[in-house]
């Protein structure tokens, strides 16, 4: 089996690269402009490719002839993140990226068997209105503009009558080890903790709105992606996926604080989108003192500091509606794995410290 993981440097893509590469009988090609940050003993081929360049995608297609599986986890987001979700050119770009890759691939990959496509809870309109709780996969398509629908219609169109099949995934808030991406709070939390220690500031919880959140560990998503390549129950289906529990920031903050060696503090919410860039020079000093990998603040957080403000409900005048999804369908289909969200936070913050991205607890 040979899997092409598209968007390999992203939070889900990098986790998928590592998981598939450790499976017997699988070879992995990671496709992304940046090489994914995975352990050195993870054996895979990295192909740098800009999906916005249709000519480059066509030129690379000969290398896809023996691909049997595709994980499409590529994503284009605009600076500032959230506003772009409502803009038609952002949606058109995400569709063009998928078409640029898959059109030449489908012409040459004669043994293609399965494609996984990533969506999210914006499929239910969570960014435009209150949604039913829990959101279920069998509800009618929410009538709002979204590149998910453009990509899904494209996949269903090109798959009709073809021997390969697909699975669509709707993960909740994803946490993992990738840096410099659009939506991953782990590097944001690690940098924030290091700055609080450096500046002698209390480790305040950035948001205390009290809304209930569901998380999903990127490694759990990777295991589900692999399961879908093996299970007939996944073929042609759409699945929500979460860790299996829920959390409120105020309640999980003590576990996060313990993971970074600080005392939790409350009562002074703040904007991480403002705080982190304002202390970029302090971060550079931390990097030098602790001999960390020389990653400047902008490359560490990508657009994820804006995502942090959204998830921490910064500036919200009332408690936001909780966005909850049902995972019954996935469990009944045969994938029942779960992850304790507090353990997830501790593990990923520890991994970033082991990789030399952020200081370890107490440093």
Model pLDDT, residue 199: 97
pLDDT in tens, 289-303: 999 999 999 999 999
- Res 363 pLDDT > 80: no
User: What's the pLDDT at 315?
Assistant: 80
- Averaged over 182-203, what is the pLDDT? 97
Give the pLDDT of residue 80. Answer: 93
The whole-number pLDDT of residue 209 equals 85
> Quick one: pLDDT at residue 18?
98
| pLDDT tens string 237-294 | 999 999 999 999 999 999 999 999 999 999 999 999 999 999 999 999 999 999 999 9
Q: What is the mean pLDDT of the chain?
A: 96
pLDDT score recorded for residue 46? 97
pLDDT at 96: 98
Question: What residue ranges define each of the domains in the chain, with the CATH number in brackets?
Answer: 2-174+217-241 (3.40.50.720), 178-214+246-325+339-354 (3.40.50.720)
pLDDT in tens, 108-167: 999 999 999 999 999 999 888 888 899 999 999 999 999 999 999 999 999 999 999 999
pLDDT at residue 362, as a whole number? 72
Three-state SS sequence of the chain: CEEEEECCCCHHHHHHHHHHHCCCCCEEEEECCCCCCCCCCCCCEEECCCCCCHHHHHHHHHHHCCCCEEEECCCCCCCCCHHHHHCHHHHHHHHHHHHHHHHHHHHHCCCCCEEEEECCHHHHCCCCCCCCCCECCCCCCCCCCCHHHHHHHHHHHHHCCCCCEEEEEEECEEECCCCCCCCCHHHHHHHHHHHHHHHCCCEECCCCCCCCECEEEHHHHHHHHHHHHHCHHHCCCEEEECCCCCECHHHHHHHHHHHCCCCEECCCCCCHHHHHHHCHHHHHHHHHHCCCCCCCHHHHHCCHHHHHHHHCCCCCCCCCCCCCECCHHHHHHCCCCCCCHHHHHHHHHHHHHHCCCCCCCCC
Whether 3 shows a pLDDT value over 80: the answer reads yes
Residue 361 has pLDDT above 90, yes or no: no
What's the pLDDT score for residue 346? 98
- Mean pLDDT, residues 310-333 taken together: 90
Q: Is the pLDDT of residue 208 over 90?
A: no
- Quickly state the pLDDT bin for 184 (edges 50, 70, 90): very high
pLDDT band at 50 (very low <50, low <70, confident <90, very high): very high
């Amino acid at each position: 089996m040979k899997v092409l993981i598209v968007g390999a440097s992203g939070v889900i893509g990098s986790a998928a690269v590592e998981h598939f590469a450790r499976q017997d009988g699988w070879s992995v090609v990671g496709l992304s402009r940046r090489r994914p940050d995975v352990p050195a003993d993870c054996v895979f081929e990295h192909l740098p490719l800009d999906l916005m360049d249709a000519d480059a995608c066509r030129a690379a297609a000969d290398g896809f002839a023996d691909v049997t599986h595709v994980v499409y986890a590529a994503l284009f987001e605009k600076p500032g993140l959230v506003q772009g979700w409502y803009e038609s050119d952002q949606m058109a770009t995400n569709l063009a990226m998928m078409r640029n890759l898959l059109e030449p691939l489908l012409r040459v990959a004669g043994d293609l068997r399965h494609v996984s496509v990533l969506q999210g809870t914006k499929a239910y309109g969570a960014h435009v209105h209150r949604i039913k709780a829990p959101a279920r996969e069998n509800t009618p398509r929410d009538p709002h503009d979204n590149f998910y629908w453009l990509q899904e219609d494209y996949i269903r169109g090109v798959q009709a009558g073809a021997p390969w099949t697909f699975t669509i995934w709707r993960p909740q808030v994803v946490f993992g080890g990738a840096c410099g991406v659009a939506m991953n709070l782990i590097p944001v939390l690690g940098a924030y903790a290091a700055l609080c220690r450096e500046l002698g500031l209390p480790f305040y919880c950035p948001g205390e709105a009290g809304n209930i959140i569901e998380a999903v560990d990127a490694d759990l998503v990777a295991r589900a992606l692999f399961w879908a390549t093996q299970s007939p129950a996944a073929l042609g289906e759409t699945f929500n996926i979460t860790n299996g529990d829920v959390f409120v920031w105020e309640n999980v903050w003590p576990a996060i604080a313990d993971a970074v060696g600080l005392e939790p503090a409350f009562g002074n919410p703040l904007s991480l989108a403002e705080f982190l860039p304002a202390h970029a020079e302090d971060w550079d000093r931390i990097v030098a003192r602790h001999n960390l990998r020389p990653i400047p603040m902008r490359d560490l957080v990508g657009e994820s500091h804006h995502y942090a403000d959204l998830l921490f409900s910064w500036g919200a005048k009332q408690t936001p509606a909780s966005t909850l999804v049902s995972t019954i369908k996935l469990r009944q289909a045969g994938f029942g794995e779960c992850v304790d969200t507090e353990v997830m936070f501790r593990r990923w913050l520890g991994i970033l410290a082991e990789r030399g991205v952020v200081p370890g607890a107490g440093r």
